[in-house]
Amino acid sequence: MYPKSEPLPFPMKTESSIPASVDDLPPPNTKRWVIRRKAEVVAAVRNGVISLDDACRRYTLSIEEFLSWQRLIENHGVPGLRVTRLQDYREGQSQR
């Protein structure tokens, strides 16, 4: 199981934006992953609403994909989850 840690380091619109239960999460058949939905799933795992394994199973995600969402949020904030920005962030890492 994924250890519970500090709340996410990015502002959500309101406290109610952090899912309080599994029922508040995006539906399991989600196909279009907009940044808000990705951020909600990461927030739910980080806040103990759902385990990492259950989230990956529910959304048919690999652990690596989920962890990449989490890393992007930690390093670049929620806007880092935009698919169109991935190339910019990857290039920035190779210059370090």
Give residue 13's pLDDT: 44
* Domain limits, the chain: 32-94
What is the topology classification, in CATH, of domain 32-94?
Arc Repressor Mutant, subunit A (1.10.10)
Give residue 19's pLDDT: 86
CA 56 to chain centre: 11
pLDDT, one tens digit for every residue, the chain (96 residues):
444 555 555 444 444 467 889 999 999 999 999 999 999 999 999 999 999 999 999 999 999 999 999 999 999 899 888 876 555 555 555 555
Give residue 14's pLDDT: 41
pTM of this structure: 0.72
Residue 55 to residues 4, 14, 79, 87, 88: CA-CA distances in angstroms?
Answer: 14, 22, 21, 26, 28
Torsion on CA atoms 24, 44, 87, 96, rounded to nearest 10: 160
